[in-house]
Amino acid sequence: MASAGDKKGIVLARIPGTSIPLAHTIFGASAFILAFVIGCYGHYYKIVKNGVAGYPDEWFPSVSATTGDWYPERNICQIFIALTSGPRLMLCYLWYLLTVRNIPANGSKGFAKFLFTNDVIRTVACGGWVYITSSDDHDIHDIAMIVYLLCTIPHVVGTIKTAPQIPKAQQYRKLFAYTFFGALVPMVHFFIQHNVHRIPGAYTYYAFFEWSLIISDLAFDAVALIDFNTLEFRIVDVGTNGHRDLKTYGGSDSAAFSPFEVVSFAADVYLGFVFWSMLTALPLMIWYFPLWHMGISGYEAFLFCNLSAVLLGFNFLRRGIEKAKGFVHLLSLVGVLSYKIADPAHRLMAVAAGVSLSLLTWGATLFGQRRQNGRAERGVLTLALGLILHNVVKQAWWANNPIWPIMNENTGGQNMIGLALGVLASLQVMLRKDPGADEPPASQTGKHGESWFLAAIGAGGYLFCLHSMFTDSTTISRWSLGGYPNTGPQPVPGGLMVIAAMAAGLTLSSKRRWVTSLIWWAIGTAGLAGLHFVEGDVGFAGGIVFTVYILSLFPTLFRSLTRQPPGRTFFLAMLVYNLLALAHVWVVAYAFVPGGEVMREHTDYVLIAMQTCLLIGVFNANSSAWSAITEARAQAAFSSARLYSKLSLVGLMIASIGVCYNRLPKSTPQPYHPEHKLITAGIWTIHFAIDNDMYNSEIRMRDAIRDLELDVIGLLESDLQRMIMGNRDLTQFLSEDLNMYADYGPGPTKHTWGCTMLSKFPIKRSSHHLLPSPKGELACAIHATLDVYGKEVDVIVSHNGQEEDLLDRRLQTTELGRIMRESDNPFLFLGYVVTKPGQGQEIYELLMDGGHVHDIEVSDWDRWCQYLAFRGVKRVGYARISHGGITDTEIQVGKYQLLDEHPTSWDRSQSIESFKKEETYAQISEDQVPEGMRFPPKFYGQGVRKHRFHVFDRPYYYV
């Protein structure tokens, strides 16, 4: 702690004295907090159980049970205790130096040595009871704990005695000392009640006081933050002649590491995450309204709420937002809080307000930071990290964002936690003091050779690219998928690879001259072309190249944007973004929007426009008079921000790896009733997993599919990898949670509304079909071959066109009939075919007769869209189950049996009349059916969660 002038040399780093006790507190608290959270999540009933009683008598876990009994909480606690040991031992030594400095006022040198020795023994004893658990060796664990508690007495007394006489610090120390020792008495009492008298529930109360010891212990040592606040540690290179501090051009230390700056940086990253969360939620919520109107609803106008960014052109308003940005960030959280608003229209309005406020705040921040000697670099990096954090969080929630307004506590949301973190981050921004400078005159805003017009076009195209392709880690893999076996990487580990590529691109962004070169743009464009035109692993590899390219442009294009007049530049950028977003929707929604035929199935047009915008933006940024000295100043000014960014990227990658590990399949999917060789198959149009009240419906869908014991199900309107659907992916959640194989069906570049197949049986091969659609919306189909009890069974899942386009429906159904007719295997049809049932209906006959399949229930006249058909299996049962408010369409389910006497192939030359004569059809009562082949009885009457047998209020069974 000597001054830098004691020896000549270069100061390599200046570390605030508070960094050591802060690191000790963070790592120590994390060890116990994470163990507690993970333990309660994964092994709650096990860690509250003891030798006397279990839940519900015992309902709160002890420290030892939480940190010492189960994987992974035990190991996580041990890892963080290991991380704590370094700062702990350093703190012991620094306290010794501090004590010696205060002699003779606060003690003797001998006492300082005694206290140092005692604290080292205490630290080692802590390692003893943490790493040797009671299940490993009960005696050694208890001895280490006793030594630790005994050493705590001189530690507490000695620390209070030798501490600098700072009244506030001493007050806190005495408070935490009293709470620590005061908790020992009731803790011993309840331990006796538990261990001697064996009273159920006593150990829970013992555990409360045991945890209070941990809190008091950590808090006592954390008070050193106050004592060390006036200290600074310096790392000096004494081998260099001449004393020279490395300083930034703005007057701050280039390599300084400040824990408060770390917290500040983390707050900005989280607010960046909130921005991306609200931005991606807006079109998703807008989509709810045209979805129900089947056309333009008027609510689409809320997309243009971002044009409010033109207000940044008013200097007084922009400066006001910049000075009060913490408060405006706080106001923008209305978009997160909006999940509490029941009315969908009002909820959308709140989200639009949140997007506008957040956009204005970030715009004012970036434009304000640009004049602070390169400080804009920090804002841009935190915004980029917020995007990557958004991807990691969505990866953990199976492509949903837990703070979206379509989420709530019933659908897996963590809205209140997200809101609380947003409030804390906003308060941190409000309370901190950011460096500032006088704003230069307007004439100095732009750089020579750079155009505000071109910068806006580049930024608008870039924001659209980020939103449409990089706000979910599975979008790239879904763009490149094909049929089995050439599916390309699945979300695990494909999502991890995309996040790694995003991190690599952001790291590469510091190579400004390379990332703005025409060669790099050509490489990125080639990767995009591969992603768009090639299926499978090769296409995904192209997507990875494109991902690295796009993220490498983040600082360059955003810094270019901030060097321009803010009002008109931001306005044009948002306008370009909106136009590309609408074009992105038009390519698939062409049947429901004016002028849709122009953009029909032309994602290539959108990608060409997007890449052109990027080229313009890169060319414009590269043409600026961005001199070498200006670049050096920007890099030096925020080398610490770069350091924090790299550390953040490492943390995000570790988190992503942990998510992928947690999502690895634990077992092989198994059918529900193999003893009967039963196949339970269903079809359901699920309205893009948005329920009738505009909340996410995936959990309720999972419950319905599980309760119905479905071995195979086709889900229609399931392609959610678009901006208007939030770049979500219900397939991965349902397949993983239900432990089923999945075929996503034709991907986003195929311009359909999507169809997905989930199966308990292995998928041997599959092909994706775009059915003929010359007039209306493009129809999709999956033709899959399953391994069902050792035999091949074919399944088709299809979603045909609407009533208005008879030619389309005729051609589509003819093609489906051909596919089924030409297959030699037993066949199940699960599809959406708009027609009335029965002979004489053209589309119906094209499907049943043309495909040589039997309708599951010929007498069911009350059908219009969804149909089940079969061939080569025995029909067992049929039911219609109400949608339960999840969508506007019921679930239709058929039960079939694969019998040995049924042929595995059929005679294609057989006439349809002869084929129909072979059908056996007779209904029987439920009590004539073995129990394992019946539908679950919970769907009778009022049913469960609003799902019930309806239309004929019971299942049909067949002989």
Active site residues: 799
H or E element, residue 237:
strand 232-237
Q: Pull the structure tokens for residue 693.
A: 């009240």
CA–CA separation, 189 vs 202, rounded Å? 9
Half-sphere exposure of 213 (CA within 13 A, CB side): 20
Task: Identify the DSSP state of 312.
Answer: G
CB atoms within 10 A of CB 666: 7
User: Per-residue b/e over 408-437, b at no fewer than 16 CB within 10 Å?
Assistant: beebebbbeebbebbeebbebbeeeebeee
* Residues composing the chain: 959
Angle between helices 73-101 and 109-131 (to 10 degrees): 180
Within its chain, how far is the Cα of 109 from the centroid?
Answer: 55
Provide the residue type at 664 as one letter. L
Instruction: Give me the sign of the Cα torsion angle 645, 648, 654, 656.
Output: negative
Strands 923-924 and 891-897: unpaired
Q: In angstroms, rounded to a whole number, what is the distance separating the alpha carbons of residues 714 and 782? A: 9
Structure tokens, 539: 């296409």
C-alpha torsion angle, residues 106, 109, 111, 116 (rounded to 10): 110
- 593: its two tokens: 């929007």
DSSP 664: S
What angle do helix axes 259-293 and 639-662 make, rounded to 10 degrees? 60
Name the H helices within 509-595: 512-515, 518-533, 536-552, 554-562, 566-589
CA–CA distance, 328 with 15 (Å, rounded to integer): 32
What's the half-sphere exposure (Cβ side, CA atoms, 13 Å) at 385? 27
Is residue 648 within a helix (H) or strand (E), and if so which, with residue range?
helix 639-662
Give the pairing type, strands 891-897 and 854-855: unpaired
Positive or negative CA dihedral for 701, 886, 355, 611?
positive
Torsion angles phi and psi, residue 530, rounded to 5: -60, -40
HSE on the CB side for 538, CA within 13 Å?
8
| Long-range contacts of the stretch 119-127 (C-beta < 8 A, 24+) | 119/92, 119/95, 119/151, 119/155, 120/89, 120/92, 121/147, 121/151, 122/147, 122/148, 122/151, 122/152, 122/155, 123/85, 123/88, 123/89, 123/92, 125/151, 126/81, 126/88, 127/81, 127/85
Residue 755 neighbours by CB under 8 Å, 6+ apart: 714, 715, 716, 718, 719, 745, 746, 780, 781, 782, 797, 798, 799
Q: Cβ distance 703 to 697 under 8 Å?
A: no
Closest among 123, 215, 142 to 177, alpha carbons compared: 215
Contact of 93 with 135, CB cutoff 8 Å: no
Contact 66, 36 (CB under 8 A): yes
Helices 491-508, 536-552: axis angle to 10 degrees equals 30
3-state SS, residue 783: strand
Q: 255: which 2 tokens?
A: 């390599």
